[in-house]
Amino acid sequence: MNTRKKATILVVDDEKGVRQSFDLVLKDSYQVLLSGSGSEARGVLSKRKVDIVLLDIMLPDINGMDLLQSIKETDPNTEVIMVTAVKEIQTAVKAIKMGAYEYIIKPFMVDDVLTIISRALEKKKLVEQVAYLKDELDRYGKFERIVGSDKKMLEIFELIRSICDSDGAVLIQGESGTGKELVARAVHNQSSRKSCPFIVINCAAIPRTLMESELFGHIKGAFTGATNTIIGKLELADRGTAFLDDIDCLEVNMQAKLLRVIQEKEFERLGSNKVIKSDVRFLAASNKNLPDLIEKGLFREDLFYRLNVFPIFIPPLRERRGDIPVLLAHFLEQHAKRSGKPRRSFSQEALNILTEYDWPGNVRELQNLVERLATITKEPVIGLRNLNTLSIGRKPIKDMTLKDAVNAFERQYITDVLDSVGYSRKKASELLGVHRNTLLSRMTELEIKAE
């Protein structure tokens, strides 16, 4: 049983025959209200929430344009479709500039009316969805620059607040692209050390032969090519925070030297015997399973326990799919601000596909995708057809039977065609070269939703 609430449409026209015609066409799919004058329509709008108004331009008591302006001022999210005769088309075009969604010419074609209403409702839904996502961002806020409303992320935010004033080491673990550095920066920025340096040490990017010098610094003449005295990153981080990213890439002998610094809070520059006191809070991150590396002799167990005072695990996106629409909206908004271009949105069908995708690259992959789509897509709404060149949401067909593979392809192809024509079954059937009833039958068999 379908319990979905029907959209409410108000038909405003002084011709009884026109009102009855609209009622006959719409009553099976929508809740229809009828008004024969502008003043009667105002009375309905003052008492009822209406999704769409079909508004005749020529009314006996109120100018249709004035009523349009009044409706949009009262509720900008109410979509208004003007109903006009051929001779009034110029006025209808002016009405669109004033905020009307579209116009219908009398006598109207049923398919045209249904298509326009369907598109108007889709636009209204997308506008409301963007408003909801913005409200979600405001409600949960961006913890530093981290966007997330999933329960697991909220628990991480709370943990960060709890440990920020401690000097205990923090070990942040999670897959690549989950935002481990953002979490580390949040810990630093929430702490009493926030006015002091936050030094990032990328253990995977620094050659092993240079790691000791990078961490502790060196004096002039310490080794061949050491023409100047260089201050190491741990000295630069004094009174602040050192973030050791990809800590698993640190070779074992350097792990022992790092462990001594954490324990004794002192070190020497390479080539010097002078002891330098260290007031540094250590944060570390890894996308590897460190206990497995310990068993293989690739990571020191004592260093692991020194770093793992406050463990933080960041879940991958596939385990917090509710954050995906929020992140998509966030990165679209960021792109619009950077580029100065109008903010785009995703169609519901595209959102469904992107939410179902597993995102092996996590937030970084999602951000890069949004950047690419927002840059190359010309339309204001990014739909399924814009995802066609991407390996997003495409179910692998290996191990499928031939019938299942054919159905999977047909389902995707029909969905793409429907999306490209605003879900007009008439236009889609023409493009596909099949009768409309055949299309409807295949949509039912393939479980394709009629948006």
Q: Is the pLDDT of residue 226 over 50?
A: yes
Least confident of 33-47, 243-257, 260-274, 374-388: 374-388
Domain boundary among 255, 281, 314: 314
My answer on whether 434 and 400 are in the same domain is: yes
Residue 341 buriedness (CB in 10 A; 0-12 / 13-18 / 19+): exposed
Residue 217 sits in the same domain as residue 309: yes
The answer, yes or no, to whether residue 2 has pLDDT greater than 50, is no
Average pLDDT over residues 116-137: 73
What six digits make up the tokens of 51?
A: 């999704």
In a domain, 270, yes or no: yes
* Distance of alpha carbon 145 from alpha carbon 242, whole angstroms: 19
More confident residue, 433 or 185: 185
Q: For position 188, what pLDDT does the model report?
A: 92
156 lies in the same domain as 129: no
CA distance 233 to 363: 28
Nearest CA among 370, 369, 319 for reference residue 178 = 319
The pLDDT tens digits for 147-172 are 777 888 889 999 999 998 899 999 99
Q: Which CATH number is 73's domain given?
A: 3.40.50.2300
Higher per-residue confidence, 144 vs 238: 238
- Does 143 reside within a domain? no
Round the average pLDDT of the chain to a whole number and report it.
86
What pLDDT, on a 0 to 100 scale, did the predictor assign at position 347? 87
Per-residue confidence (pLDDT) for residue 3, from 0 to 100: 45
Residue ending a domain, among 138, 172, 194, is: 138
> Judging by beta carbons within 10 Å of its beta carbon (0-12, 13-18, 19+), is residue 374 exposed, middle or buried?
buried
Percentage of residues in the chain having pLDDT higher than 70: 90
Determine what percent of the chain is predicted with pLDDT higher than 90: 45
pLDDT given at position 134: 56
**305 inside domain:** yes
pLDDT at 397: 44
Q: Note the pLDDT of residue 392.
A: 54
- Stretch 232-257: mean pLDDT, rounded? 94
Task: Indicate whether 305 and 339 sit together in one domain.
Answer: no
37 and 133 share a domain? yes
Considering the domain architecture, whether residues 286 and 361 belong to the same structural domain is answered as no
pLDDT tier at 87, thresholds 50, 70, 90:
confident
Identify the CATH number of the domain in which residue 364 sits.
Answer: 1.10.8.60
- Model confidence band, residue 311 (pLDDT cutoffs 50, 70, 90): very high
C-alpha torsion sign, points 207, 256, 290, 239: negative
Please tell me whether residues 165 and 308 are part of one structural domain.
Answer: yes
Give the pLDDT confidence score for residue 91 in this predicted structure.
86
For the whole prediction, is pTM greater than 0.85?
no
Confidence grade of residue 388 (pLDDT, cut at 50, 70, 90): low
Amino acid 141: pLDDT: 44
Per-residue pLDDT band at 451 (split at 50, 70, 90): low
Q: Which residue has the higher pLDDT, 49 or 11?
A: 11
Instruction: Kindly state whether residues 256 and 336 are assigned to the same domain.
Output: no
Q: How many domains would you assign to the chain?
A: 3
What does the pLDDT average to over 36-64?
91
Residues 334 and 308 in one domain: no
Q: Please report the pLDDT score of residue 405 as a whole number.
A: 63
Give the mean pLDDT of 17-46. 92
Q: Please report whether residue 2 resides in a domain.
A: no
User: pLDDT confidence of 144, banded at 50, 70, 90?
Assistant: low
- In a domain, residue 451? The reply is no
User: In terms of residue numbers, what domain contains 328?
Assistant: 323-445
Q: Supply the pLDDT for residue 349.
A: 82
Looking at 114, 138, 162, the residue that finishes a domain is 138
Which pLDDT belongs to residue 143? Answer: 54
Highest mean pLDDT (candidates 29-38, 78-87, 221-230, 414-423): 29-38
Residue 390: what pLDDT?
A: 53
